[in-house]
Amino acid sequence: MDLDSLTIDSARTAVAERKTTATALAEAFYDKIQKDDPQIGAYLILSKNRAMETAGRIDRLVAQGADLPPLGGVPVGIKDVMVTRGVRSTAGSKILGNYIPPYDCTAVARMEAAGAIVLGKLNCDEFAMGSSNENSAFHPVRNPRDTSRVPGGSSGGSAAAVAAGMAVVALGSDTGGSIRQPASFCGVVGLMPTYGRVSRYGLIAFASSLDHIGPLARTVKDAAIVLRTIAGRDPMDSTSADVPVPNYVAELEKPIRGLKIGVAKEYFGEGLDGEVRNAVETAIEKLRSLGCEIVPVSLPHTEYAIPTYYIVATAEASSNLARFDGVRYGYRARNARALSDMYRRSRDEGFGAEVKRRIMLGTYALSAGYYDAYYLKAQKVRTLLTRDFDEAFKKVDAIVTPTSPTAAFKLGEKVNDPLAMYLADIYTVTADLAGIPGISIPCGETHEKLPIGLQILGRHFDEATILRVAHAYEQATAS
Amino acid sequence: MKVTEQNVVYVADLANLELTDEERGRMVRDLNSILDYIDRLNQLDTSDVAPLAQTLDRYGVDESKQGTARFAYASRDDIREGLRKSLPHEEALANAPESDGTFFKVPKVIER
């Protein structure tokens, strides 16, 4: 069986029709991970016992002649910012290096309840803070397309595992672009749902008003199946919205003819690589040829998105990460003289450089005398950014942009320049700030054969439309 | 230069960090470079703009209702019976760096 080209339906059908078993399929993935992952570094922790338990359950269902659930027997990976009961969950950080959670993240529990086999926990930037996966406290991830390059971040392990056939689909998280940018760099599909669409219960918090869980997959349809599985109200997360979850898969086949697609000039300005621009403009022409009406729109505050994001996200991170104190769980520094000394040294030794930088920036922005100038100011500009989308979506059904200004960059290229790294998220942070959904799908390659991503943004709770446009584009360009 | 080494020491204290001398120097440089970029927010007049703390305040609310009832989805019913059990003691302590089996243990709280 060719693991690289399996989809949810083909894997599930192979198990249901007894061409393989869920157990044998999981074993095949573990063999592949053992052989290929040393070159990539996508996985941090393998959860083989748990995987084999679920696989056994699926195989018994098949033996009984029962119908398989939607993800029955499908091997998946989970970004290691989602907690898993009994399976080490690190957030890519030394401070949680030995943490074994007593409960499951809702999204993971829903995947497993739908029959998914959780192979293991995927590498990421520490606390999901980064755009290259080089901030993992354990090891970086390499891009399967070119191992001298980064896979993007922070869900770099998730994107790389899906691209390299080491999981059929994966869950990632997106706070400023962390699903869509690595999907773009690795040539896979990455969907960030609307804020509140998917429960955040059990997602190790980075910035609570911006964090989203979503799928990375090889096809738009697989992303739709996963979203349907994990979406919907969860009593354990008061910000999970009570908005009906449509059948995204059935919606995929609706025609896109007549849809109005917005193109914003602000996403095609200085800093956009020429090859990326050409690929995205070609994709826009393809959508036009499929019957969409292309409409110019303006999102005038776009240039203020990165500065807004790095205040809001770091302020929230500084309070969320205050819980790591070496008392109840996590890393504790040895031989501390007193309690306050223990807190400080545990955090000093447990957090990496980028995490400390963001805690410091966020604490500064919230501190007396700076709160109005930075935090309150950023929240006000967040309103302006959100209004830009409100206005645009009065005229159009979706907006297309490049996902990232460049294709994957080299390892080490931006590690010493935090601001340059932050600018890698310039086209993705706006959607997180506005709470709207966005998807990145492959739309060609550079002359060096590096994948390029097309981003499609939609209205709040209208994932169905962006999935439909993405699916139509994918089908029309399939080779 | 907005942020001085003195500011960094003060903020690190608020954040329960200490930072090495080298980290402090680098933090001064990085924070200044990032805040210089962030200063472009001051190009915008926001005197009449309300702050946005999170987007569900504006979306997914029931506008036909008043006050906090608009966010009815965000609350759950009081549970009188059949409360979810709290974590068993030993599970709650399982990840503790140090415990005596009943409590979390920490170094002494008061320095003399």
**pLDDT range class, residue B58, cuts 50, 70, 90:** low
pTM for this structure? 0.96
Has residue A229 got a pLDDT over 70? yes
Provide the pLDDT for residue B20. 94
Strand partners, A78: A121, A171
CB-based burial, A129-161: b 16+ in 10 Å, e otherwise? bbbbbbbbbbebbbbbbbeebbbbbbbbbbbbb
Q: Do B109 and A328 touch (CB under 8 A)?
A: no
Q: Would you say residue A217 lies in a domain? A: yes
Position B25 in a domain = yes
pLDDT at A363 over 90: yes
* B92–A102 C-beta distance less than 8 A: yes
Say if residue A49 is in the same domain as residue A132.
yes
- The per-residue pLDDT for A96 is 98
The verdict on A53 and A186 lying in the same domain is yes
Q: Is residue A145 part of a domain?
A: yes
Confidence bin at B26 (pLDDT 50/70/90): very high
Domain that holds residue B30: 5-44+51-74
Q: What is the pLDDT of residues B83-103, one digit of tens each?
A: 777 899 999 999 999 999 999
Contacts of A475 (CB under 8 A, 6+ apart): none
User: Are A169 and A150 within 8 A, CB to CB?
Assistant: no
| In a shared domain, residues A282 and A318 | no
State the burial class of residue A250 (Cβ atoms within 10 Å of its Cβ: 0-12, 13-18, 19+). Answer: exposed
The token duo for A177 is: 């672009």
Instruction: Say whether both A157 and A289 belong to one domain.
Output: no
Taking residues A278-304, what's their average pLDDT?
A: 98
Instruction: Give residue-wise pLDDT tens across range A76-126.
Output: 999 999 999 999 999 999 999 999 999 999 999 999 999 999 999 999 999
Neighbours of A222 (CB within 10 A): 27
In chain B, pLDDT over 70 holds for what percent of residues?
86
Which residue range(s) make up the domain with A467?
260-301+387-477
Nearest CA in chain B to A459: B59
Domain annotation covers residue A378:
no
In a domain, B23, yes or no: yes
Q: Is A104 exposed, middle or buried (0-12, 13-18, 19+ CB in 10 A)?
A: buried
**CB of A130 closer than 8 Å to CB of A94:** no
Domain end (from A329, A345, A372): A372
Q: Answer whether residue A446 shows pLDDT above 70.
A: yes
Which chain B residue shows the shortest CA-CA distance from A361? B31
pLDDT score of B30 more than 70? yes
Mean pLDDT of A322-326: 97
* Structural domain includes residue B103: no
Q: Does residue B81 form part of some domain?
A: no
Residue keyed to tokens 């074994």:
A100
Quick: pLDDT tens for A126-155.
Answer: 999 999 999 999 999 999 999 999 999 999
> Per the structure, how many domains does chain B have?
1
Residue of B nearest to A235 (CA): B76
Counted domains in chain A: 3
Q: Judge if the upstream peptide bond of residue A289 is cis by omega within 30 degrees of 0.
A: no
Same domain, A111 and A206: yes
Q: What is the pLDDT of residues A449-475, one digit of tens each?
A: 999 999 999 999 999 999 999 999 999
Res. B74: pLDDT tops 80: no
Buried b (16+ CB within 10 A) or exposed e, A442-478: bbbebeeebbbbbbbbbbbbbbbbbbbbbbbbbeeee
Q: What is the mean pLDDT of residues B64-83?
A: 72
Question: 3-state SS of chain B: helix, strand, coil percent to 5?
Answer: 45, 0, 55
Confirm whether A381 is domain-assigned. no
In A134-273, at which residue ranges do the beta strands (DSSP E only) sit? 169-174, 189-192, 212-217, 260-264
Three-state DSSP class for residue A96: helix
**Do residues A248 and A343 both lie within one domain?**
no
Whether A271 shows a pLDDT value over 70: the answer reads: yes
- Whether A281 and A323 map to the same domain: the answer is no
Residue A377 included in any domain: no
Amino acid A74: pLDDT: 98
- What SS3 state is found at A170? strand
Quote the percentage of chain A above a pLDDT of 90: 94
Tell whether B70 is covered by a domain.
yes
* Mean pLDDT score, A394-409: 98
Residue A222 and residue A425: Cα distance in Å, rounded?
Answer: 25
Q: What is the CA radius of gyration of chain B?
A: 24
Higher pLDDT, A416 or B110: A416
pLDDT, tens digit, 9 for 90 and up, residues A10-32: 999 999 999 999 999 999 999 99
User: In terms of domains, do A213 and A344 share one?
Assistant: no
Same domain, A103 and A41: yes
pLDDT at A222 over 80: yes
- Write down the mean pLDDT value for chain A: 97
The Cα A421–Cα A208 span in angstroms is 22
Phi, psi of A475 (to 5 degrees): -65, -40
- Taking a C-beta distance cutoff of 8 angstroms, is the pair A116, A152 a contact? no
Query: Does A379 fall in a domain?
Result: no
pLDDT of residue A468: 98
Confidence of residue B75 (pLDDT cuts 50, 70, 90): low
* Minimum Cα–Cα distance from A372: chain B residue: B51
pLDDT digits 0-9 by tens, A176-204 = 999 999 999 999 999 999 999 999 999 99
pLDDT in tens, A245-268: 999 999 999 999 999 999 999 999
Chain A (233-262) residues lying within 8 Å, Cβ to Cβ, of chain B: 233, 235, 238-239, 241-243
- Using DSSP, state whether A426 is helix, strand or coil: coil
Out of A241, A342, A376, whose CB is closest to B107?
Answer: A342
* Model confidence pLDDT, tens digit, residues A328-342: 999 999 989 899 999
- B56 vs chain A: nearest CA distance in angstroms? 7
Residue A137: C-alpha distances to residues A93, A130, A363, B103 (Å): 5, 12, 22, 30
What integer pLDDT is reported at residue B57 of this predicted model? 67
Q: Which tokens sit at A100? A: 């074994």
Strands A169-174 vs A189-192: parallel, antiparallel or unpaired: unpaired
Residues A290 and A236 in one domain: no
User: Is the pLDDT assigned to residue A431 strictly greater than 80?
Assistant: yes
* B24 min Cα distance to partner chain A (Å): 10
Residues in chain B with CB shorter than 8 Å from the CB of A192 are none
Chain A to chain B, count of Cβ pairs less than 8 Å apart? 183
Same domain, A24 and A124: yes
- Per CB-CB distance under 8 Å, the chain B contacts of A196 are 55-56, 59-60
- B59–chain A Cβ distance below 8 A for any pair: yes
Kindly state whether residue B99 falls inside one of the protein's structural domains. no
Any domain includes B87: no
Q: In degrees rounded to 5, what are phi and psi of residue A280?
A: -70, -40
ipTM score? 0.92
